[in-house]
Chains A and B, each alone.
Chain A
Amino acid sequence: MSLFFDILAGSLMAAGLIFFVGTVTGMLRFPDFYTRMHAGGKGDTLSTILILLGAAVHVSEDFFHDPIHQWGVLLVMVKILGIAAFLMLTSPTSTHALMRAGFEDAHETDETVVDKDQDGPSLEELQSRTWEERS
């Protein structure tokens, strides 16, 4: 019985890790800001939720085996699932916030986030410099 729980928790966490590897590869190898954020936003949310579900399954094993602290274990499971729900709500929102900030940065040349210095680099130079350092 405990082996079943261990295998289930382990496979959920391993699936989360595999998606994370895919996310990181995407963020490193995609050519454009938007494609990178797309990979990051989707993969990050999914893999974190999978890892949290694996942790919840691992904790729920105690629910069946430890009769004294049953409600405590249930509380821990509910809290972990609450964190997963919160992440499901806010991680895509933060991805959206980042992508929108990047969009506004690139297209509204009069109202940029970066302070326009008289002798500092312009925004295009800054972006291209970052891309060159990456490649």
Chain B
Amino acid sequence: MIWQLDLILLIFLVITALISLRVRDLLGASMVFGIYSFLICLLWAGMGAVDVAFTEAAVGAGVSTVILVATVYHTRRVTGGHKRASGMKVLSLLLMLVLGGVLLHASGDFPALGDPTSPANDHPVAQYYIEGSYQDTKVPNLVTSVLADYRGYDTLFETVVVFVAGIGILAVIGVPTARMRREEVCGDTAQFGEDSDLIILQTCRLVVPVLQLFALYVIAHGHHSPGGGFQGGVLFGASYILLALSGGLREALRRLSESMSFRLAACGIVIYAGFGLLCMALGSSFLDYAILDSILPGGVAMARSHSMLIVEAGVGFTVTTILFVIYANLATRGKLEGGL
């Protein structure tokens, strides 16, 4: 943790947060929010939170900016110029000052940053994860082993939340009649992006396969390096978004239609929960991978490692397809044609 870099990043973080809220052009506000996400990603990488930084770079700085821009495109671009009653603002400011005073006063009692003996770091659970996790699961990446094995229950429901968000977007802005027309139209043999720019099209045609391969690498190598199901899934979904941005949404939909997306997303959750039920069927409790030693090769620890890979693949399926569905619906106001 280089304190000089941390201090400068913190100052710029607060400045960019304030700017993104003050700028009247909403497109500019989205861009400054992307800058904010990248800065905080650097801060976390400096503090050793590499998995968190990876996810924030992919999700926060990448996908969040794209869906914000897609929404600004379909609503108003400029804001401001409206004078509303300032009573709420003054009340809110007072509330913030009080809350800020309380929190800052409480921070005087916090342990110093980076103290290895602070109560959060000294806790026996955290100590066990650091010391015993490799022997139990043979997975060097502690974050992946805790995420997919020790706290697998939380990760299952996180995946379900992502799936529910996809369904929710379909429910809120999905337009059924246009969708059915879309399914018919998708079957024709249109040329690849006849109205998109040549340079962007060809560069993206080079980049997308490499990106997808790298996404699969991140999912598979998440046991040994920063990565895992979420990061790889976001990268894979981003490759489809890139395909949609460069060649037109029709091209991306031809390769991954919306119905296939939801089927794959449901498959991801079925894989994850099905694995848990498999563990129950073999006699142990839900998501207790140790019992799978009887069907997976290599011993108890390797059985847990293999199971982690399979459930991460399930998570990857869901995150990929739902992110693409979120983008496709937001960019076209639910109609899945035209758009960004």
> Which residues on A are within 8 Å of B, measured CB to CB?
86, 89-90, 93, 96-97, 100, 113-115, 117, 120-121, 126, 130
Contact = CB atoms under 8 A, between A and B. Distances in A.
B203 A89 contact: yes
B74 interface: yes
Interface of B: 25, 73-78, 197, 199-200, 203-204, 206-207, 210
Contact of A126 (B75, B77, B204, B207): B77
Q: Chain B contact residues: over half helix, strand or loop, or mixed?
A: helix
Contacts of A130: 25
A1 to B, nearest CB: 26
A134 to B, nearest CB: 12
A120 B76 CA distance: 8
A97 B204 CA distance: 12
A93 B199 contact: yes
Contact of B76 (A90, A97, A113, A117): A117
A96 B200 contact: yes
Contact of A96 (B75, B77, B199): B199
Could you tell me the dominant secondary structure of chain A's interface residues? helix
B207 A89 contact: yes
A89 B72 CA distance: 29
Given A97-B197, A113-B73, A120-B78, A89 B206 contact: yes
A126 B76 contact: no
Contacts of B204: 93
A100 B77 contact: no
Given A89-B207, A130-B25, A114 B199 contact: no
Given A113-B73, A126-B25, A93 B203 contact: yes
Nearest to B72: A115
Given A93-B204, A126-B77, A126-B78, 12 more contacts: A86-B210, A89-B206, A90-B207, A93-B199, A96-B199, A100-B197, A115-B74, A115-B75, A115-B77, A117-B76, A126-B25, A130-B25
Contact of A114 (B77, B207, B210): B77
Contacts of A115: 73-77
Nearest to A125: B78
Contacts of B74: 115
24 contacts: A86-B210, A89-B203, A89-B207, A90-B203, A90-B207, A93-B199, A93-B200, A93-B203, A96-B199, A96-B200, A97-B200, A100-B197, A100-B200, A113-B73, A114-B77, A115-B76, A115-B77, A117-B76, A120-B76, A120-B78, A121-B78, A126-B25, A126-B77, A130-B25
A108 to B, nearest CB: 12
A120 B78 CA distance: 8
B243 to A, nearest CB: 14
Contacts of B210: 86
A96 B201 CA distance: 12
A76 to B, nearest CB: 11
Contacts of A113: 73
A91 to B, nearest CB: 10
Nearest to B69: A113
